[in-house]
Structure 1
Amino acid sequence: MVSQGKVRFAAVGDLHCTKESAGTLREFFAHASEAADALLLCGDLTDYGLVDEAKVLAAELATVSVPIIAVLGNHDFEAGRPDDVRKVLHDAGVKVLDGEACEVHGVGIAGVKGFAGGYGRGALGPWGEAVIKQFVNEAIQEALKLESALAKLRTPQRIAMLHYSPIEATVKGEPVEIFPFLGTSRLEEPLIRYPVAAVFHGHAHRGYPEGKTVNGIPVYNVAMPLLRRTFPDRPPFCLIDVPQEEAQTSAA
């Protein structure tokens, strides 16, 4: 139930659910459901993108009594069946976003997987071999999908959820050599044009839990392995409140 004055979101990514995960996540999800008004899942929901893994996750999510919104991650594409993974989760009541937007308790949510490519002056440019141009174009297309989703929202309060990081600050702690594969600042550009209350992502297991975009938007790395290591005394999900007063205005 939404508390007076706020909407509370629980966010986590990188569950890496396997067929052996059956029975291991239900209590965790029950805690998240009790603590929040909605649950956000930020990609790498499965370990190898297998349908059987998605079915296990769907069964584990049965304890959740609040809306569930998700984006897929790179692991969910590994088996080449992301649409099947998405369908299993959809059939279990999960809203899986891929460049779409939705509204929960009056708060708008834009979601996209995102992609790699690097940050700032170190971002890879579309020059040279065709395969490099294709790689960069994938990042550009994901950024455009995020921008399109944000542009559709008319709610005063909005959040964005991704798998890859839009800023460098929340991947620091990972080996510097792999920064370009953990996200890209191309994903930050839509967040500058369409500011949000908060951004959630995963992917960087050894990154940093919080940073900000150049325009001051808080960005949270909610990869489960990172949250477990950084906050060992609490369940590994991130809780963020969005003011309920503005959310109510958006729904009117």
Structure 2
Amino acid sequence: MTTVCASSDIHSPRHLELFKKALEESRCDPDVFVLAGDVVERNNIAEYGRVLSLLKTRHPGTPIVAVFGNEEYRGFEKEYMEKYRDVVFLNDSYRILEARGSRLVVVGPRGALDKPTKWQEKNLPGLARYYSELPARLSELLSDASSTHLPILLVTHYGVTHRNLIGENPAVYPYLASVRMEEVIARHSGLLKAVIHGHAHNGAVESVEVGGVKVYNVALPARGRIVEVEV
């Protein structure tokens, strides 16, 4: 088993103190730590370093894997990757990780929504097409990852089902997740051992099963703590 500790939606500096408290109170002893997007607020790249400083102090030497959220703006991925080279950033990609003698594959896109927000429609042309095409692209990525014959952990920022969005306003469900991801998860349930996502700040349900695979919402405002996932 590989122990994964996970969090997201720190929106530093907004929830940085809550993240610090969550780390201090956590009993999770991670092989890998996952940051599932929206680590900073409004693309404040420097704030990412403050989050990492807290994380490394609490869990020195632990591999850190991250995906980008909507607050880590599109087009700035390379800047994050170059500034924080000790983080394994996934951007529609996957990586084999080795930690404490265990090996697993982490697959990481930002994720998709049922439909773009009005702001996204206005300011990010082409995003609706990306959301529409991502489930098929992710399925191909998972097929490639399965060739390693290692357990697979899928990490996205956006949700992958509506089943764990209870607590949110149902009117905004389409802007929090993509239900088309459910079919992708079920199709790859053989080696896909868990799914981690954030974005749903008010999601009252921590985990549900989709196609026999556990799906976790690790958004810090929703959980108030670090989430432990066994893969």
- TM-score normalised by the shorter chain: which range applies? 0.7 to 0.9
Within the candidate set 213, 218, 221, 2:214 is matched to 218
Is 1:112 paired with 2:109? yes
Query: For structure 1, which segment, 139-148 or 201-210, has the greater mean C-alpha deviation from structure 2 after superposition?
Result: 139-148
> Match of 2:56?
62
> Match of 1:190?
184
Q: Deviations over 1:16-62 (max 9, x none)?
A: 112994x8755754766961211111111111112222232333333
Identity score, percent: 23
> Match of 1:3?
none
Q: Tell me, yes or no, if the aligned pair for 1:33 and 1:66 is still in contact at 8 Å.
A: no
Is 1:94 paired with 2:87? yes
What is the letter of the counterpart of residue 174 of structure 1? E
Structure-1 separation of matches of 2:195 and 2:15: 31
Structure-2 separation of matches of 1:30 and 1:106: 27
> Match of 1:241?
230
Bigger radius of gyration, 1 or 2? 1
Structure-1 separation of matches of 2:112 and 2:15: 28
Q: Deviations over 1:175-201 (max 9, x none)?
A: 011000001122223222222111110
Structure-1 separation of matches of 2:174 and 2:18: 33
Q: Give the number of the structure whose residues are more often helix, by fraction.
A: 1
Within the candidate set 172, 196, 200, 1:200 is matched to 196
Q: Tell me, yes or no, if the aligned pair for 1:111 and 1:149 is still in contact at 8 Å.
A: no
Deviation of 1:211 (Å):
1.4
Structure-2 separation of matches of 1:136 and 1:198: 26
TM-score, with normalisation over the residues of structure 2? 0.81
Task: Please give the secondary structure, in 2, of the residue aligned with 1:106.
Answer: strand
Distance 1:20 1:237, change over 3 A: closer
Distance 1:218 1:148, change over 3 A: same
Q: Tell me, yes or no, if the aligned pair for 2:156 and 2:196 is still in contact at 8 Å.
A: yes
State how 1:4-15 maps to structure 2 within 5 Å: 6-15=1-10
> Match of 1:47?
41
What is the letter of the counterpart of residue 99 of structure 1? D
Q: Deviations over 1:121-180 (max 9, x none)?
A: xx9xxxxx9x9x944312133324422331222234211111111110111210011000
Task: Please give the secondary structure, in 1, of the residue aligned with 2:71.
Answer: helix
The answer for unaligned runs of 5 or more in structure 2 is none
Task: Please give the secondary structure, in 2, of the residue aligned with 1:49.
Answer: coil
State how 1:132-151 maps to structure 2 within 5 Å: 134-151=126-143
Q: Tell me, yes or no, if the aligned pair for 2:67 and 2:157 is still in contact at 8 Å.
A: yes
What is the letter of the counterpart of residue 206 of structure 2? P
Q: Tell me, yes or no, if the aligned pair for 1:108 and 1:155 is still in contact at 8 Å.
A: no
The answer for unaligned runs of 5 or more in structure 1 is 1-5, 124-128, 229-235, 243-252
TM-score, with normalisation over the residues of structure 1? 0.75
